[in-house]
Amino acid sequence: MKLRIYPENSIILAPLSGYTDLPYRRSARRFGCKYCFTEMIDAGSLAYGNDKTLRYMQRGAEEEWLGVQLVGSNPDFIERAIAVLNQREFNVLDFNLGCPVPKVAKKEAGAQLGKNIKRAVEVFSLIAEKSKFPVTAKIRILSETDPEPTWELASGLAAAGAQAVTIHGRVMKALYSGPVYTDIIREVSERLPVQVIANGGITNWKNCKELKEKCDCDCVMLARGAMGNPWIFKELSECENYQPPTPEELSDELEKHMNELIEYLGAELAMKAGRKIILDYLKSRGFTGSVKTEVSSLKTAADFEDFMKIVRRGPSDRYRVWLLSNPDADRKLKF
């Protein structure tokens, strides 16, 4: 029997740097997402009490389940960061061993640390020892052809106390594109005594089902498929019975999400941080280039209100026609 911390068939929203703040998670939760994470928090910044980092830890009163994610490699920073986290309440503390960005790799953290199995396990043991929360890890596969290195890392982490391991089925150098090596995830999952969560490439209920089957994992984590598309959580639970949002529902949710971001960050910062959020909602949904160009000029809450009047005119007629011949398009709208 495997140790499980997520109930069967759980769908987990991935930690996403620059995205999974409180307003983002609230939006996902409105459509049924239960398991959410903060974005990754740098252990050094947390150890030094950086203000922005403190905001990353904010938890909404209504959030029944929230995981926090830590990234780093310096044992001193990690110990101090965990002392700060331990003063709060989280359901899980996840350790990031998958982030490939140079800023993180330079510090021998994230995916770079994951490649150094011995050291990754040493650092993780410290986390398991100091954390008052159950600990988990998020890794990438270490080879596209041989399951052994990934197995060695995952089993080392499990032996050090990981209660679950999420595996993104791409190697570090593939970043976020290319195939997801489901056979590697499957081989590790079959042998690991703790739960494995499969991650990579989910954008609709059909490819989610396929990922679960190919990896033989009942729990999955998704990231980019939820950007500007919180309805995906409804889709993954309703499958063939899912009804996409109407243009009006799209506008309502975009407005709600941005208004919460304004409340959370203040209008000026929200307009800067929210540009990518707005563009995500409009992406692949038939909004013209000129609507999207407007986004870069939004500076105030009033600008956003005016912009929403344009969005509420809906997608182009060409998109409606295009949908007739592409009825299975991801992120589609219903008319």
Ligand X SMILES: Cc1cc2nc3c(=O)[nH]c(=O)nc-3n(C[C@H](O)[C@H](O)[C@H](O)COP(=O)(O)O)c2cc1C
DSSP single-letter state for residue 5: S
Kindly identify the residues of this chain, within the stretch 133-192, that bind ligand X according to CB under 6 A. 138, 168, 176
With binding defined as CB under 6 A, does residue 125 bind ligand X?
no
Torsion, Cα 78 83 87 88, to 10 degrees, reads 10
The separation between CA 303 and the C-alpha centre of its own chain, rounded to angstroms, equals 29
| Cβ–Cβ < 8 Å for 40, 15 | yes
How far apart are alpha carbons 195 and 6 in whole angstroms? 8
Cβ proximity to ligand X, 223 vs 254, nearer residue: 223
Coil/strand/helix, residue 12: strand
Residue among 162 and 323 whose Cβ is closer to ligand X? 162
Instruction: Please identify, using beta-carbon distances, which residue of 147 and 200 lies nearer to ligand X.
Output: 200
Near ligand X in 31-60, by CB under 6 A: 39-40
Closest approach, Cβ 180 to ligand X, in A, equals: 7
**All residues at 6 or more sequence positions from 7 whose CB lies less than 8 Å from its CB, including other chains:** none
> Which residue in the set 45, 199, 229, 251 belongs to the binding site for ligand X (CB under 6 A)?
199
Bridge partners of 196, per DSSP, are 165
- In the shown chain, the binding pattern of residues 94 to 113 toward ligand X, with x for contact by CB under 6 A and - for none, equals --x-xx--------------
Does 17 bind ligand X (CB under 6 A)? Our answer is: yes
Q: Which tokens go with 218?
A: 């009942």
Partners of 12 in the β-ladder: 35, 221
Q: Which is nearer to ligand X, 7 or 18 (CB)?
A: 18
Write a three-state SS string for 240-259.
Answer: HHCCCCCHHHHHHHHHHHHH
Span near ligand X by CB under 6 A; candidates 2-10, 91-99, 122-130, 320-328: 91-99
Applying CB under 6 A, the span of 50-58, 219-227, 248-256, 265-273 interacting with ligand X comes to 219-227
User: Are 124 and 135 in contact, with CB atoms under 8 Å apart?
Assistant: yes
For the question of residue 99 being annotated catalytic, the response is yes
Question: What residues make contact with ligand X under the rule CB under 6 A?
Answer: 14-18, 39-40, 69, 96, 98-99, 138, 168, 176, 199-202, 222-225
Active site residue ranges: 99
